Amino acid sequence: MISHENEDIPGFDQHGESHEEGLHGEVHESPWSMTFPLVFLAFPSVIIGFMGLPWDSKFIKLLNPEEAITLAQEFDLKEFLPLAIASVAIASTGITIAYLAYFAHKIDLSIIFAERFPSINKFLSKKWYLDEINEKIFVKGTRRIAKEILEVDSKVVDGVVNLTGLVTLGSGEGLKYFETGRAQFYALIVFGGVILLVAIFGFQSPQVA
């Protein structure tokens, strides 16, 4: 892995962005604590790659032996070789360019690439603008949704709960005055209800048939 130390290099701010033209700092290998796990994992990756050969896949044989026989019979070397050669050539080209640029110092990528293709260089230096997209869509979007949910929770949900509590408290406070334990008082309430019903239905005009 290759890392850049931009924090202490003049021309870079705290976010690692350059305010000066040209390439700053020295590119160097990552610490051994980061390199060793990658080197250690490289060996089983190579072994697993050989175990998954398209014409003799140990994994497919283990899961489905009949399908492994079918794939081995349908394997076409003429179709496989161009793809394999192309992938190896692309990887070898990248490794060669990296070696010439960062180890042999034979080519200067800041001149070859950055100055000739400034738009692409800016796009890559911004990491495909993934941080900006994540900030606008996920971070700010999530905060906006959380704020709306908080508004609904504080005004609607809490309002319903508080209103229910107030109604219960008010009705309880009002009804306690009717709990006197006296039969005369209860009879008076019944009598008052009857008078109220007679008054409501008595003043209704008769309907004409």
Q: What is the mean pLDDT of the chain?
A: 77
- Give the per-residue pLDDT at 21: 45
Query: H/E element holding 40?
Result: helix 32-51
The residues spanned by each domain of the chain are 2-135, 136-202
Lowest-confidence range among 27-31, 97-101, 123-127?
27-31
Per-residue pLDDT reduced to its tens digit, 35-77: 899 889 888 888 888 887 877 878 888 888 888 788 878 888 8
Give the whole-angstrom CA distance, residue 201 versus residue 206: 10
pTM for this predicted structure: 0.40
Question: Among 120, 90, 102, which Cα is nearest to 30's?
Answer: 102
Give the whole-angstrom CA distance, residue 201 versus residue 181: 31
Per-residue pLDDT reduced to its tens digit, 2-43: 444 444 434 444 444 444 444 445 656 678 888 899 889 888
Give the whole-angstrom CA distance, residue 177 versus residue 171: 10
The three-point CA angle 60-81-83 to 5° equals: 85
In this prediction, what percent of the chain has a pLDDT beyond 90? 5
